[in-house]
Amino acid sequence: MCNLDPNSKPKGRWYKGYKVVYELNGKNYSPAMGFCYDDFEEIPVVKKQKRLGNSLFTNHILNSGAYKFDMLGRTGVFVNKKDASFLRGDLIVCKEPNSKGTFKVKRVRIAKNLLFGWYNEDKVIAGSKLTFLE
């Protein structure tokens, strides 16, 4: 999960970045949390996790030390496409055999409640409103 810095609020109102999604039937889902990005105008506060298509993420993110309070109602996007591509590669390696969707890197715009942070060693920007640009 992302480690956000509450003291590093971006100056802009929105930023472009890259998001790894689990695409199924033309819709974009969170591989870690299971909700459909396309069904919400803003990122929901997830109360029940449903990991999709992979064994990379734990089934217990919400109850683990990996889930940070700052991520409530936010999602992180990678600043660099290569970082998103590396995560996509890890997800493909850990893909569940019977899963029907595909992992993709999509160009996005993130806005509202923005914070800078890190996913492992990769720079991310987290926010509450996600728009797919492709």
CB of 57 within 8 A of CB of 51?
A: yes
Q: What is the pTM for the complete model shown?
A: 0.92
> What confidence score (pLDDT) does residue 65 get?
66
Q: Which residues contact 97 (CB under 8 A, 6 or more apart)?
A: none
Cα distances (angstroms) measured from residue 129 to each of 42, 47, 63, 77, 124: 5, 18, 24, 11, 15
At 11-22, the pLDDT tens digits run 899 999 999 999
Token duo for residue 53: 């298509």
Q: State yes or no: pLDDT of 61 exceeds 90.
A: no
Q: Of 8-22, 62-76, 94-108, 118-132, give the lowest mean pLDDT range.
A: 62-76
Beta-bridge mates of residue 16: 109
Q: What percentage of the chain reaches a pLDDT higher than 70?
A: 98
Q: State yes or no: pLDDT of 58 exceeds 90.
A: no
CB of 91 within 8 A of CB of 43?
A: no
